[in-house]
Amino acid sequence: MARGGGCCDGCDAMFGEKGARRALARYLKHGLGGEESTLAGWASSGGLEGATVLEVGGGIGQLQAELLRRGASTGTIVELSAAYEPFAAELAAAVGVAGRSSFVLADLTADGDDVPAADVVVLRRVVCCSPRGVELLGAAAARTRRVLVASYPRRSWWVRAVVRLQNAGFALLRREFRVYVHDPAALAAAAGAEGLTRSRHGRGVVWESVAFARSR
């Protein structure tokens, strides 16, 4: 089960055991995909020795596990969906980082007060799950000591058209979950308000990836 609330309506139905199992199988077979590798590279570029990692909306936590493998000291996955926890544990064990990785069930924007800051924060494909995605990025930025890497859907006309169709499909199926395409300038401003400045930027067909580094 996932926690409800206004941050990610319908996440419980959307991100359940079936998806978690599929994500783990995909990771164990293929490893990180291209966009994940880019984010991991940016997160690692300042060195990871002894760094702490926080993966918000981390699912099975493949990125924090990869950063632990590359030298980070400890990693935490913060998730709304409890269904991911056993699969995250299996992944951590499979890559040999089980003792250094933990899973916290929380909504970062609602009950994340106890979630500690980390040197490296990861927010891959999470802000698009919530109408409060900008606020969510701000909350992640507030917990970033060194670098925040994130990805979200591009705000191009074709991505927005596909998302509109997708959301119409969810409505027809009477699902509560919706995808949100946030304004990249608003996301950057939320990071900026927490003292982070955009240091890297890349665009695929659908996803935009960014790194924000602490400037003050």
Residues that bind ligand SAM (CB under 6 A): 2, 7-8, 11, 15, 23, 56-59, 78-81, 107-109, 124-126, 129-130, 136
How near is the Cβ of 216 to ligand SAM at its closest, in Å?
25
Which residue, 197 or 200, has its beta carbon nearer to ligand SAM? 200
DSSP result, the chain: -B--SSSSTTHHHHS-HHHHHHHHHHHHHH-S-HHHHHHHHHHHTT--TT-EEEEET-TT-HHHHHHHHTT-SEEEEEESBGGGHHHHHHHHHHTT-GGGEEEEE--HHHH-TTPPPEEEEEEET-GGG-TTHHHHHHHHHHTEEEEEEEEEE---HHHHHHHHHHHHHHHHTT---------HHHHHHHHHHTTEEEEEEEE-SSEEEEEEEE--
Least separation in angstroms between CB 113 and ligand SAM: 13
Nearer to ligand SAM, 56 or 163 (CB): 56
When the beta carbons of 5 and 184 are compared against ligand SAM, the nearer one is: 5
Report which residue's Cβ sits closest to ligand SAM.
57
Residue with tokens 């089980």: 98
Nearer to ligand SAM, 47 or 70 (CB): 70
Least distance CB 80 / ligand SAM (angstroms)? 4
The distance of closest approach from Cβ of residue 192 to ligand SAM in the complex, given in angstroms and rounded to an integer, is 20
Shortest spacing between CB 45 and ligand SAM, in angstroms: 20
142 vs 215, which CB is nearer to ligand SAM?
142
